[in-house]
Structure 1
Amino acid sequence: MEVKAKGRQAARSRWLRNLARVGFAAKGLLYLIIGYIAFEIAFGESGGEEADNSGALQVVAENTGGTPLLWVAAAGLAGLALWQGIHAAVGPDKATRRVAAASNAVLCAVLAVTITAFLTGGGAPESQDSQSEGMTAQLMSLPFGRFVVGAAGCGMIAVGIYQLWKAVARRFSRDLALGGLSRGGRLTVLTVGVLGYATHGLVLGAAGVFILQAAITFDKDRAQGLDGTLRAFADTPAGPPALVAVAAGVALYGAYCFCLARWSRD
C-alpha cells in the first residue's frame, strides 16, 4: 500500500506532470507534421518524405532550432512514459485504462529512445514500413510465428475499433478537465477529439488489416507501417481525396494531443 501511495504521489508531482505535458505536446507536433506530409503525398509534392515518425523527425531536425526542440521532445516523451507507467502500475483506474496506460508508456519510451539515438549520431531512424516488414519477417520465421503475426494484426484491428467507439461515444473526454472552458471552447475541443481520435483508430485498424493479410498470405511485404497505411487510402476508389481527409484527421489527432498537454486530467 505504501508503494502505491508513493507512486500516486509521484504521478501527481508538479515536475512530472509538466514533463508529461511536454510529452503530449511533442506527440502533437509529430502528428501535425505527419498529417502535413500526408497532405503533400496526396498532392504529389512530398519530395520522398515518409509520413511517419522518421519523416517527422527529419523535418524538425532540418529546421532552425530543430535539434534543441528534439531534445526537449525526447525529455518530454520520457516523462510521459514514466507518468503513464506509474498510472499503469499503481493507478486507481479500471484494468482496461491501466493496460492502455502501459501500452502508451511503452510507445512513448520507444519514441524517446529513437529520438535520443537520432540526436546522438545513430543516423536517421528506419521508416516504420521497413520496421513493420522486418519484424513481420522475423516473427514468421519462428515456429507458429505466422499465428503470432495474425494475432497481432487482429489485436491492432480490435484496438482501432475500440478507439473508433471511444471517439463516437466521447469516452476520451474522461481524460480531459474542461471545467474552466466556455461551452464553445468545450465543443471545439470535443470536436477535435472526436475527429482526431476516430482517424487514429481508423488508421490503426487499417494497419492491422495489412499485418493480418501478411500472416494469411505468408508475405511480409503486405505488412505496412504508418506511411504505407496512409498511402493506401489514396489507392481506394475515392483516390487522393480519401488521403486528404485522413491527413486532416491525423493533423486533428495532433491537435488533440496539444489539448491533452493543456487540459489532461491529473
Structure 2
Amino acid sequence: MNTRAMAWRGRAGARRAANGSVREGAARAGLTAQGVIYLLVGVLALRIAFGDGQRQADSGGAVAELAGKPFGAALLWALGIGLVGMALWRLTEALFGSADRNGRSARKRLLAAARCVFYTFVASSVLAFAVDRGNGSGSGSSDRRSRDLTARVMELPAGQWLVGLAGAVVVGIGVWGGVQAVRRKYHGQLKLGELGAGARRLVDVTGVGGGAARGLVFAAAGVFAVRAAVTYEPDRAKGMDDTLRSFADTPLGPWLLVGVSAGLVLFGVFSFALARWRRV
C-alpha cells in the first residue's frame, strides 16, 4: 500500500472517530437533559399530589422551575443545548441506523425520526424561553397545546378519525413501552459488562419502575385523545399536566398520582444511567 493511500485511510479513520465522538457526546448530553426534565416533572407532580399545584407538571413547568433557581439562565441554556444534542443524535439514527438490535430497520429509523421532531420542538421551546425568560411562564402549557392541536386537526377532512388514530397510536406506544420496561428489554441497549451489582440493581429498579410509569402516562394521554375524537370535543384532549392530575380523580385518589409521580422521578434517574452506560 502506497503512502498516499495509507494517509487517506488514516484521515478517514480519524473522521469516523471524530464523528463517533460527536454523536456519543450529543447522545449522552441529550439523555442527561431528558433525565432532568422527567425528574423535575415527577417532583412537580408530587407537589400537586400533596396540595401544591402552582406549577404545571410538564416540560413547561420544569423549565419555569429551573429558571427560578440560582444560575437559572445558565441551567436553561445547558438544558436546551442538551436537548439539541438529543435531537441530533436521533437524526443520525434516522439517517444511519442505531446501535440497537435491528437498528437499521425501517421501523426503528422512523421511530428515531419521530423522536428527532419531538426533541427539536422541546429544545426550541426551552431555548426560546432561555432567550426571553422575563414572564416566568415556562415554554407553555402542554394542556393548552394539546387542546389547540386537537381542535385544528379536527377541522381537517376526516380530522376526527385522525385524532382518534393518533390517540390509539399513543396508547399503543405507552402500553408497549411499559411492557418493554417490565421485561427489561433495555438491557440490550446497555454496556452490561461495565455495571457492578449495585449499579445493575439501580438500573433495574429505575428502568422498570420509571418505564412502567411513563408508559402509563402515555397510555392515559392517548385514551383522552381517543375520547376527544369519539365525542368530537377537543377540550377533552389532555397534555402531560392534566393527564397526571387525572390520576388523582381515580378511586385510589392522590395516592395513584403519588405512585406515578415517583415513577417519573425514577425514569429521570434511569435516564442519567442511560447517559452513563447506554451503547450509542
Q: Which residue among 15, 24, 27 is the counterpart of 1:17?
A: 24
| Equivalent position amino acid for 1:75 in 2 | I
216-225 or 97-106: bigger deviation: 97-106
Q: Answer yes or no: is 1:41 the counterpart of 2:52.
A: no
Cα deviation, 1:207-262, whole Å, max 9, x if unaligned, reads 00000000000011110000000000000000000000000001111111111111
Cα deviation, 1:89-128, whole Å, max 9, x if unaligned, reads 1116133332332222122111111111112227632200
What is the aligned partner in structure 1 of residue 106 from structure 2? Answer: 95
Asked which structure has the greater CA Rg, the reply is: 2
For the aligned residues, what is the CA RMSD? 1.9
Q: Answer yes or no: is 1:236 the counterpart of 2:244.
A: no
What is the aligned partner in structure 2 of residue 143 from structure 1? Answer: 157
What is the aligned partner in structure 2 of residue 213 from structure 1? Answer: 227
Q: Secondary structure at the match of 2:193?
A: coil
**Alpha-carbon distance between aligned partners in 2 of 1:169 and 1:31, rounded to the nearest angstrom:** 21
Q: Which residue among 207, 211, 217 is the counterpart of 1:193?
A: 207
| Equivalent position amino acid for 1:265 in 2 | R
**Alpha-carbon distance between aligned partners in 2 of 1:76 and 1:20, rounded to the nearest angstrom:** 8
Q: Answer yes or no: is 1:108 the counterpart of 2:122.
A: no
| Structure 1 unaligned regions, length at least 5 | none
| Structure 2 unaligned regions, length at least 5 | 1-11
Structure 1 runs (4+) greater than 3 angstroms displaced = 8-12
**Alpha-carbon distance between aligned partners in 1 of 2:116 and 2:95, rounded to the nearest angstrom:** 11
Q: Which residue among 12, 32, 37 is the counterpart of 1:30?
A: 37
What TM-score comes out, normalization by structure 1 length? 0.92
Give the Å deviation of 1:180: 1.3
What is the aligned partner in structure 1 of residue 60 from structure 2? Answer: 54
Q: Answer yes or no: is 1:79 the counterpart of 2:85.
A: yes
Q: Secondary structure at the match of 1:49?
A: coil
Q: Answer yes or no: is 1:118 the counterpart of 2:129.
A: yes
Residue correspondences, number: 260
118-127 or 14-23: bigger deviation: 118-127
Give the Å deviation of 1:12: 5.3
**Alpha-carbon distance between aligned partners in 1 of 2:185 and 2:108, rounded to the nearest angstrom:** 11
| Equivalent position amino acid for 2:169 in 1 | G
Q: Is the 8 A contact 2:228 2:237 kept in 1?
A: yes
What is the aligned partner in structure 2 of residue 223 from structure 1? Answer: 237
**Alpha-carbon distance between aligned partners in 2 of 1:128 and 1:77, rounded to the nearest angstrom:** 17
Q: Secondary structure at the match of 1:84?
A: helix
Distance 1:9 1:171, change over 3 A: farther
Q: Is the 8 A contact 1:10 1:16 kept in 2?
A: no
| Equivalent position amino acid for 2:232 in 1 | F
What is the aligned partner in structure 2 of residue 166 from structure 1? Answer: 180
**Alpha-carbon distance between aligned partners in 2 of 1:119 and 1:17, rounded to the nearest angstrom:** 25
**Alpha-carbon distance between aligned partners in 1 of 2:215 and 2:241, rounded to the nearest angstrom:** 15
Q: Is the 8 A contact 1:11 1:87 kept in 2?
A: no
**Alpha-carbon distance between aligned partners in 2 of 1:195 and 1:12, rounded to the nearest angstrom:** 34
Q: Is the 8 A contact 2:194 2:277 kept in 1?
A: no
216-225 or 179-188: bigger deviation: 179-188
Give the Å deviation of 1:187: 2.3
Q: Answer yes or no: is 1:258 the counterpart of 2:267.
A: no
**Alpha-carbon distance between aligned partners in 2 of 1:245 and 1:234, rounded to the nearest angstrom:** 10
The sequence identity of aligned pairs, in percent, is: 42
Give the Å deviation of 1:10: 7.6
